[in-house]
Structure 1
């Protein structure tokens, strides 16, 4: 069995739960079948295990270096990305008119999970390029698409997103980078961008930066931001375009992905869409990236869990609690209750997280006003919940390995370090919490939250036995708490404990998706289905009760975090 990802679980979720074969009745996916979906999954697994996984450790130990002129990256990264590009996977979900194969988003997401689990640092270049190209397909001109997108789809160019700045971080309203009209339809872009993943390398012929900048005279705040295409090199001459690598950041994880400080000095930029709508356009890439980050957190947690499970079955140590014979042979540590606790908890996190990612992706394939609204509400949870709880699966994996887990001779410590970054990628968990409670559950008069809770209640009411009742009760509590928080319409009070709200809502959503899996498993026989039913019961009985204290805190109206004086921290 692969220790990268579980093909069996993917097939269960895709075919037995989500019934992705039914998508082939839609005109867009009519040329597809179970056979074509499986073929894409096959090639993804093959390339991931052959070209991505083998250099994951080497990528971590030999991070990119910068000698003042060029960035050096281990050659295996280029080889892997070339194999990925040649497979056609980067363009597969796109329309045929753009050279795509109209693969459903849910299948494409399942495919890319293999690469994220095998080597998250190398896969990051592909993920950013994909998001960049999708944004330009949606908002770019025909000429921009032909000049920049098609080479990205072919793997010749790569792409980035340039939002953060040294002084601004996530506060995009404070962006200072300027764009000055040059009089010929182009702009001169000047400023500094920070934390730009994939910002400089020699893995591709060119790097296409999407840069948020402010045109002179634009209003303050995010409404004054515009979006520009700023290539590393002029596509006609091949000369550098005023984009300079000022330095590399050295992160605790994702070490194989260049993370850069970029200086833009009168770089030629090309406006995307209209002035002043830059952040609105960028949200397409940001939301795609947020789902991608959540998926990456699931992938890393999942591979950590599979490594821990294999180790626990092989490692013999200790004896059963009721065996007092010191000469009795040791047993595999998977027999010990506390090891089982960590493994079962991890299983519930990563398989629940995987269900969340694929459910969200299928909403993109079944676009409707209702599904778009539901995806809006779920997106902060999709990004933040796996970043916290699937990381805990990697934490457990280290513990299951015992002392070996803390050494670099075993891969689980790297999985944890890589996964730790996902809580800050594409907006911190705190930002996602503010987005969920401050915007998503209140928009359209609370229609999005009501829709989510209706779907959860429908599932919980269909489950036989006592598993549905706690979930129904949790729905009622979350609805009541939300109403109470916003009763006075005061954001400073309602949002002070937003992170607790995100945690509670996330756990409720995962409990719902475990009930969905429980229903899909039904009465089917075999260890796999027994495992699904066991994990569903575990999550509802052991994990869902965590939200009680969270909702109690929210209901209390506590404003300690708002009212405290930072001087009291010491």
Structure 2
């Protein structure tokens, strides 16, 4: 089992990629990051590493062996999860990249992604709660009304509320145009209030007692709107309604129907949720109270704000798990002595570390290339996001946004394939020990095997890349990608 003193990522690699390659300290010259310095970035990175090792990694195995339980009323999780999340919120990481006017410190996305990689490497299941909450809050800051931001986003950034995304249904996965969840106007609730009725499946973090409230973002079709994706709208549907003074109000008509049991991420509740079944009657009526977010009929476009962030988060999680597995295998291979050097006869000499055997070296070097390359891809995408928001000229911002658009399905998919391969190699390096629960690598593989499916399979990402991203704006995004590749090849030559 990983201890608080063992490495789960490489601080040296992160330091090299942030400063020697991506030059993040140069971002401090821009107005948004003017209050920061390399010393500030280093202190946040060090605090993240320390908290991830001491409070996240230390219960990863326990949460895997003690899955959430549901007694028909409440979900029970091991207490270490809430303790870790409270400390995560307590050092301000939930709002780290956000504007000062909502309590953020305006940390660059590149640095924040590097910080969060420590938590994903340490314990992907516990890290999923803040990952979803931050993406949920970012969407609402972009599209929500001032009232929704005040009532729901600010408590999220304090760690009092957590967030989810509710897209899939029992019979609807990636074909979101077939969503059957309905929304009907609620005359008593004001202009943007609706009552939502339907069932959502595979909702990570959909119910728990880790926070005071859960903010669901739900794709549904408002009554009378057209079929297909163009008829979908997005609704904020909280577990508890919030009063005008910020206190919790009535229980909303959102009910946990059951828990799903995945092969990995076992500390993350994964749920089947019923909206509007009548188990609760807010304001005396059945139906889950939901508030329209963004324009009616533009729900999927709004949801892509969270989905794209989640896709990058999935890729980053795959890197963290792969890196952790690689380092575990490397430690084992250096310590485990077995066999003699090639060419030795019989039992001549002492057994050598298995890291010196050519096939083990092949697997370790392959894994090293996958995880270091994956980390580079994630941090490069984050640097593009910083460029798209803060570059000096509009042309530079547009170019970065275009390149990030093209790369997003790749950022999700490539690490999910090849960093999972690093976990596969780690099991193989450990041999018979690798598939026992006495070592982390067995769980790390199971945890990472979910990522090729999370937020859209490889096939879905390929359709997005070739069917949308490559041809958008007459192929402009692909052209920018090719230009960047040529520039990099020229530098390497």
- TM-score using structure 1 length: 0.81
CA distance in 2, matches of 1:345, 1:398: 14
Deviation at 1:327, TM superposition (A): 4.2
Match of 1:414 among 426, 431, 443: 443
Matched residue SS, 1:401 = helix
Give the Cα–Cα distance (whole angstroms) in 2 for the partners of residues 405 and 299 of structure 1.
19
Residue 3 of structure 1: CA displacement? Answer: 2.4
SS of residue in 1 equivalent to 2:271 = strand
**2:413, 2:461 within 8 Å by CA — same for their partners in 1?**
yes
Who is 2:210 aligned against? Answer: 203
Aligned counterpart in structure 1 of residue 21 of structure 2, from 8, 14, 17: 17
Provide the rounded CA distance (Å) in 2 between the counterparts of 1:372 and 1:327. 61
- 1:325, CA displacement in angstroms? 4.0
What's the counterpart of residue 59 of structure 2? 55
CA distance in 2, matches of 1:384, 1:326: 46
Mapping of residues 258-273 of structure 1, within 5 Å: 258-265=269-276, 266-273=287-294
The higher relative CO (CA closer than 8 Å, separation ≥ 6) is in 2
**For each residue in 1:49-70, what CA deviation from the matched residue of structure 2 results, as whole angstroms up to 9, or x when unmatched?**
1110000000100010111111
Q: Which among 361, 365, 370 is matched to residue 344 of structure 1?
A: 365
2:82–2:210 Cα contact (<8 Å) kept: yes
TM-fit CA distance, 1:462 = 2.2
Structure 1 residue 297 corresponds to structure 2 residue 318: yes
1:76 correspondence with 2:74? no
Residue equivalent to 1:129: 133
State the alpha-carbon separation in 2 of the partners of residues 423 and 353 from structure 1: 14
In structure 2, the partner of 1:146 is 150
Cross-structure match for 1:476: none
Deviations 1:432-466 (A, max 9, x none): 011111111111111111111111111112223xx
| Alpha-carbon offset, residue 324 of structure 1 | 0.8
Which of 404, 412, 416 matches 1:383?
Answer: 412
**Shift in Å, 1:79:** 0.2
Q: Trace 1:38-437 onto structure 2 (pairs within 5 A).
A: 38-183=42-187, 184-185=189-190, 186-236=193-243, 237-265=248-276, 266-367=287-388, 368-437=397-466
Q: Distance in 2 between matches of 1:406 and 1:459?
A: 40
Q: Say which SS state the counterpart of residue 385 (structure 2) adopts.
A: helix
Q: Distance in 2 between matches of 1:273 and 1:447?
A: 28
Deviations 1:374-411 (A, max 9, x none): 00000000000000100000000000001000101111
The total of aligned residue pairs comes to: 464
Q: What SS is found at the alignment partner of 2:266?
A: coil
Determine the C-alpha separation between the residues in 1 that align with 2:157 and 2:410. Answer: 29
Matched, 1:26 2:37: no
| Greater share of helix | 1
The normalised TM-score by structure 2 is 0.93
Equivalence for 1:531: none
Q: Summarize the alignment of residues 420-569 of structure 1 with structure 2, pairs less than 5 Å apart.
A: 420-464=449-493
Q: Distance in 1 between matches of 2:130 and 2:448?
A: 18
Correspondence for 1:529: none
Instruction: Verify the 8 A CA contact 2:207 2:214 in the aligned structure 1.
Output: yes
Q: Deviations over 1:74-115 (max 9, x none)?
A: 000000000000010110100111111000000000000000
Q: Which runs of 5+ in 1 are unaligned?
A: 465-570
Q: Deviations over 1:299-341 (max 9, x none)?
A: 0000000000010000000111111141421000000000000
**Cα RMSD (Å):** 0.9
Q: Which runs of 4+ in 1 moved over 2 A?
A: 236-239
Partner of 1:239, secondary structure, is strand
SS at match of 1:422: coil
1: distance between equivalents of 2:459 and 2:91? 37
Equivalent pair of 2:340/2:348 in contact (CA under 8 Å)? no
Superimposed CA distance per residue, residues 533-561 of structure 1 (whole angstroms, 9 cap, x where no aligned partner): xxxxxxxxxxxxxxxxxxxxxxxxxxxxx
CA distance in 2, matches of 1:130, 1:194: 21
What residue number does 2:391 align with? Answer: none
Structure 2 gaps of 5+ residues are 277-286, 389-396
In structure 2, the partner of 1:37 is 41
Aligned counterpart, 1:566? none
Residues 239-265 of structure 1: per-residue CA shift (max 9 Å, x gap): 320000000000000000000000001
CA distance in 1, matches of 2:127, 2:59: 12
Between the aligned partners of 1:288 and 1:462, the Cα distance in structure 2 is: 30
The CA distance in 2 between the partners of 1:144 and 1:354, in whole Å, is 35
User: C-alpha distance in 2, partners of 1:394/1:239?
Assistant: 46
Shift of 1:167: 1.0
Q: Give, in whole Å, the separation in 2 of the partners of 1:285 and 1:381.
A: 17
Deviation for aligned residue 1:128: 0.3
Matches of 2:162 and 2:372, distance apart in 1:
31
